[in-house]
Structure 1
Amino acid sequence: MTAEPVREEKYARIERERRFLLAGPPPPAPVTASRRITDRYLAGTRLRLRRSESLTDGSREFKLTQKVPAARPGHIQGLITSVYLSPAEYELLARLPAATLSKTRLSVPPLGIDIFDPPLHGLVLAEAEFTTDAAARSFLPPPQIVAEVTDDPRFTGGSLVHAHREDLLGWLADYGIRPAPDTPWTA
C-alpha cells in the first residue's frame, strides 16, 4: 500500500529532518549557541510541551507542538504545528501528566546537536532541518557522524522519552558506540 503524500495544511508545515549519531560532543570552538531544553511529552497525545533556555543570555522560550508522523521512512518526518506560549500558559500546561526528556542543544551549523541528560547520557544526536526535499536529499553529513538514524524510530523524541538506560546502551551498540555506562557527558 502506498503512503499518502504529506501536504502542508492551513496551520501545519512539513517537517523535513535528518538525524545522526555522534560518538561524543563537539569541541567548543564551532559551537555558536547552546540552550537547555526540557521536553514534556503529554500522556496519550501527540503533543510536546517545550521549555528552552539560552545558556548565553538566559532568554526563555515556551512552545506547545503537535507532531503528526509521516507513514513512511525518509527525511519527511510528518506535519508539525507549534504554538508559542507565555510563561503562565506553559506553567498551566506543565501540570498535565507527561514523560520528560532533558538535554543540552548545541548549535554547530548546519546541525543542532543534542547531549542528553541521564538516563540517556552518552547519547549525542545531531539533526539537520531543511526547507525543501532537494536540500534534504543532497545534504552531505560532516565526517564526525557515526551513523544516520533518520529511519530508526528508536531515536525520535517520542521514543527516547520512554527509553531506559539499558535500552539506550543496546541501541548505541548496534551502531558501534559504547559510552561509559555511568559517566554523563557535559556540555
Structure 2
Amino acid sequence: MEINQQVATALGFPKPAFTSVEHERRWLCRNVPRERIVHTEAIVDLYVTGSRLRLREARPIGGGPAKLRFSRKADVDTRTRLITSIYLTEEEFAVLAASLPGVQIRKLRHRLQSPPHVALHVDEFQGALAGLIMVEAECSTADLLAALPMPDFAAREVTDDPRFTGGDLVRNGRPKDLEQGATTE
C-alpha cells in the first residue's frame, strides 16, 4: 500500500526512504498456543512521555544478542502505521534508558509458525497487565492483512479498539471492562 506523502509528512515522516509501513491486526487470546512457538523474547518497552517514541529492549529467551532500538510510530489508520527505527548498541541503549522519562510495558513475545508473508506474534503481558494475551498479525500488504482469518486460538478482534494499542495500555492500563482472563466477551 502506498501512503500519501502529504499524510506521512503531516504525521512527521517527511522522508519515505527512512520509513517502513506496518500492516497489523490484533486479537485477544484465551491462551498461548505453545506448540506453535518458534522463538521467544523478553521485551521491555519504554513509551517516552509526551511523544510517539518507544525504546525497546528485546532479549531472546535462552540467550543470544539483544535487539535494542529506538522507534517512532504514527497511525495512518487502525491497521496501518508508519515506523522508523534506530538500532542501538548496549551503551547507547543504557544512556537513553537512564535519561528518558516514560512508562514501561513488559511482555514475553512468542513468534509463531506462520504462513508465508505473515508474521504472527503472541504477546503475554507481565506486571500490571499480567493475564492479557494478544496475538498480532503483520502482513506484507494491506490486501493480505484484510484476507487473513482470525487465528483459531484467538477470542476476539481488537484491531479497531484503541485501548489495545501499546501507547494506550501504558497510559490507561488494562481496559476496565476486561476482567482478568475475560478475553472472550
TM-score by length of 1: 0.82
Tell me the amino acid that sits aligned with residue 101 of structure 1: I
- The aligned counterpart of 1:172 is 178
* Among candidates 69, 84, 95, match of residue 92 of structure 1: 95
Number of equivalenced pairs: 167
Q: How big is the alpha-carbon RMSD for the aligned residues of Structure 1 and Structure 2?
A: 2.0
How many percent of aligned residue pairs carry the same amino acid?
34
* Among candidates 48, 51, 60, match of residue 57 of structure 2: 51
1:57 positional shift: 2.4
Is 1:83–2:86 an aligned residue pair? Answer: yes
TM-score by length of 2: 0.83
After superposing on structure 2, the runs of 4+ consecutive aligned residues of structure 1 that deviate more than 6 Å are none
* Among candidates 102, 108, 125, match of residue 104 of structure 1: 108
Give the gaps of 5 or more residues in structure 1.
179-187
Give the gaps of 5 or more residues in structure 2.
9-14, 115-119
- The aligned counterpart of 1:60 is 66
Tell me the amino acid that sits aligned with residue 69 of structure 2: K
- The aligned counterpart of 1:184 is none
Q: 1: distance between equivalents of 2:18 and 2:84? A: 6
Q: Is the 8 A contact 2:31 2:153 kept in 1?
A: no
Is 1:159–2:148 an aligned residue pair? Answer: no
- Higher relative helix content: 2
Tell me the amino acid that sits aligned with residue 137 of structure 1: A
